[in-house]
Amino acid sequence: MSLLVTADALIDGSGAAPLRPGAVLLQGDRIVAVGAHVAPPPNAERLDLAGATILPGLIDCHVHLSDEGLPDASARDRDPPALRVLRMAEHARRTLAAGFTTVRDVGGRDHLEFGLRRAAAEQVIQTPRLVLAGKIVSMTTPGASSWPGMYRQADGPWDVVKAVREQVAAGADVIKVMATGAVLAPAHERPGVAQFTTDELRAAVDAAHALGRRVAAHAHGIDGIRRAVEAGVDTIEHGTHLHEAPAVARAMATRGIFLVPTLKALANIADAPAPGIPDEIVAKARERRTDRDLTFRLALAEGVAIAMGTDAATPFNRHGENAQELAIMVDLGMSALSAIAAATCIAGRAIGRDDVGLLAPGKLADIAIWDGDPLADIRLLQRPPRVVFLGGMRVV
């Protein structure tokens, strides 16, 4: 069965100028044709959406479906696993309903997310496509006590190798490592300070790459970013202090290492809409606001590939509100077209899924369609999409 979808415009996700009008032809779970006008085969169904813009389903490269944007996540530490799983399913549902057809979860709890993915595969629930890291591989650190079940602490290269292999054995598609301390950790864990040694990071990268898995490195401070880049990770998460060493940004651009800036996470902590976040965490975020902006502008100027990620689940950073990140990217100087590319084609490449994030023949038919023109107002994407297809199946 073929389906021809037409609208006023189509943005393919590559960064190319939009087609006006636009059309995409779906067959089964794939896209078979894209153009301003597409001649449908006989008996094709049609969906004509006047006033709308067709986009690839959006991709968020950095979420934690296990958690939900509470000011203080520890309030939920003692909840039973069944309740946590049901909440996780609801977070995934909201994300899909917001037009995000793929998310990379870079730190779950107790591997519950692998069960979530199985439930989606068995059509018990609907979720976006899930690219999963399992537990975060980290040195022994105070942060692990803040997030029970989210960390696999490992010290020394061989323990790190074992930790990586455990995640892959559990079903991980990507390995998340901590290259520096975190903001959402006790006060004495410092985001500016490097954590894993270069040897430990190299061990993680070698073990992951040998098994065909990419590596995402959480890194705020420049020493940790530099070590992660030297070790050959695939994405730098946050990258807050990258602006302190433009040569490292240039190395990222040259080697094709992506930056996932997670601008929204810091904004929601530093300028929280409501009280409840522990004071020392707010202080850590406020200290880094300017760094975040300087780094984003440097990465743009140096041609670092920027992939969209929200860190959804940090305080007030709720699942389903992911598209707010694109508006912050545009406010910091990125074009709307580039912000959409960062959340589609570039995001797909960053997470090792080049079968999504682009409207082109042969790609999976993950498509989101909004009323209006998001190039005129990127905030349109924060409204519920009119139609969403996941692998050719209409889910909204």
Interface residue list for Zn ion (CB under 5 A): 311
**How many Å apart are CA 352 and CA 182, to the nearest integer?**
25
Q: Which is nearer to Zn ion, 205 or 265 (CB)?
A: 265
Measured from each CB, the residue nearest to Zn ion is 311
Tell the smallest beta-carbon distance from residue 248 to Zn ion (Å): 21
Residue with smaller CB distance to Zn ion, 151 or 296: 151
Cβ proximity of 140 and 112 under 8 Å: no
Please report how close the Cβ of residue 69 comes to Zn ion at its closest, in angstroms.
Answer: 12
Task: Indicate the residue among 223 and 311 with the shorter CB distance to Zn ion.
Answer: 311
Which run of H or of E encompasses 278?
none
Please tell me the distance from the alpha carbon of residue 1 to that of residue 344, in angstroms, as a whole number. Answer: 26
For the chain, how many residues are written?
396
Rounded least distance, CB 136 to Zn ion, Å: 8
How many angstroms separate the CA atoms of 239 and 332, rounded?
A: 16
Least CB distance to Zn ion at residue 42 (A): 49
In one letter, which amino acid is 357?
A: G
Between 203 and 219, CB nearer to Zn ion: 219
User: Measured from the CB of residue 107, what is the shortest distance to Zn ion in angstroms?
Assistant: 6
- Between 98 and 260, CB nearer to Zn ion: 260
Angle at 212 between CA 210 and CA 216, to 5 degrees: 95
User: Of all helices (H) and strands (E), which one includes residue 152?
Assistant: strand 151-153
**In the bound complex, what is the minimum distance in angstroms from residue 311's beta carbon to Zn ion?**
4
**CB of 278 vs Zn ion, minimal distance in Å:** 17
3-state helix, strand, coil in the chain (%, to 5): 35, 25, 40
Neighbours of 209 (CB within 10 A): 16
Identity of the residue, 269 or 380, whose beta carbon is nearer to Zn ion in the bound complex = 269
Rounded CA separation 338/134 (Å): 30
CB neighbours of 146 closer than 8 A, spacing ≥ 6?
73, 74, 184, 185, 186
Considering beta carbons, is residue 291 or 311 the nearer one to Zn ion?
Answer: 311
